[in-house]
Amino acid sequence: THIVRASDGYDMHRLEQVNQISRRLRKGEASVHESIRDIEVVMATAPIYPWYLRLMFSFVQSFFASMTLFHGSWREGLLAGGLGIMVGAFELLSSNHLTIGYLLNVVPPLIVALVAALLSDHICFAAVPMAASLNLLPGLGLALAMMELSSNNVICGTVRLVSATMTSFMLGWSTTVGYNLGMAILGKEGESTGLSSECEGLSMLWWILFVPCLSAGFAVWFKVHWKQWPAVIFASTMGLIIQTFCDRVH
């Protein structure tokens, strides 16, 4: 029995290339040996986006997510973006260092919540932690789990579901600990209003600019080819419009 550890993260560009190779094999346009050779070439090529560009776009993600998804202002956006770079660097390091990967869902959210709590007198706390830790949220993993379960892939779906659930617990625990630690340093123990408070964000007209930028940030982080960005931006915009409409109706 050989146990092979899969690398963390997603590479949508390579996934699309491998999918094309499998289609050619299925149609008989390529042999098994040719397909294996093509897959080896795909895996040997450098990532479509370098690490420093992905790190820069982790700021873009957190900055615009804070002001759209969590209704923050410019101050919360800048703070979330700065902390998002720290989280992004931690995640990039975890892909090469197994020990750091074990702490990925604990240490960065704790630091983010601690810093946001220490600045809670000047910012809206609720708009910072989740925006800065956006790449750690298990939303995609949960969606994949539901797809696997609906396709009767019980084992794979259950594993993904349990993993996403445990990740959510760890993120919530780390955020709570970081917030309580910050409040203790400020001498405000027992105050938990920041965890449930709602922020007064910018006008929704800004979302016309913010949503495409946020979608581009996601595309770079998940290594989506730039030719597919219009589709990503369109899907993200429609999803946000539907969610906003449903929230107002409710």
Mean pLDDT of the chain: 86
**Residue bearing the bigger pLDDT, 189 or 217:** 217
**Residue bearing the bigger pLDDT, 144 or 247:** 144
CA distance 72 to 77: 6
CA distance 130 to 84: 10
Q: Is the pLDDT of residue 193 over 60?
A: no
CA distance 162 to 110: 22
How far CA 191 is from CA of 44, 91, 173, 183, 195, in Å, comes to 52, 31, 17, 7, 9
Q: Identify the band that residue 86 occupies on the pLDDT scale cut at 50, 70 and 90.
A: very high
CA distance 101 to 133: 15
Q: Which two tokens stand for residue 137?
A: 């949220």
**What does the pLDDT read at residue 4?**
62
CA distance 189 to 183: 5
Q: Which two tokens stand for residue 97?
A: 């260092």
- Number of Cβ within 10 Å of residue 79's Cβ equals 24
Residue pair 63/77 in contact by the 8 Å Cβ criterion: yes
How far CA 130 is from CA of 28, 40, 63, 105, in Å, comes to 47, 37, 11, 12
CA distance 158 to 222: 23
**What does the pLDDT read at residue 113?**
93
By C-alpha distance, which of 218, 206, 215 is closest to 237? Answer: 215
**What does the pLDDT read at residue 8?**
61
3-state DSSP: the chain helix, strand, coil percent, rounded to 5? Answer: 75, 0, 25
CA distance 106 to 90: 11
State pLDDT tens for residues 1-17.
666 666 667 888 898 99
Angle at 70 between CA 63 and CA 148, to 5 degrees: 95
**What does the pLDDT read at residue 59?**
93
By C-alpha distance, which of 58, 53, 80 is closest to 69? Answer: 80
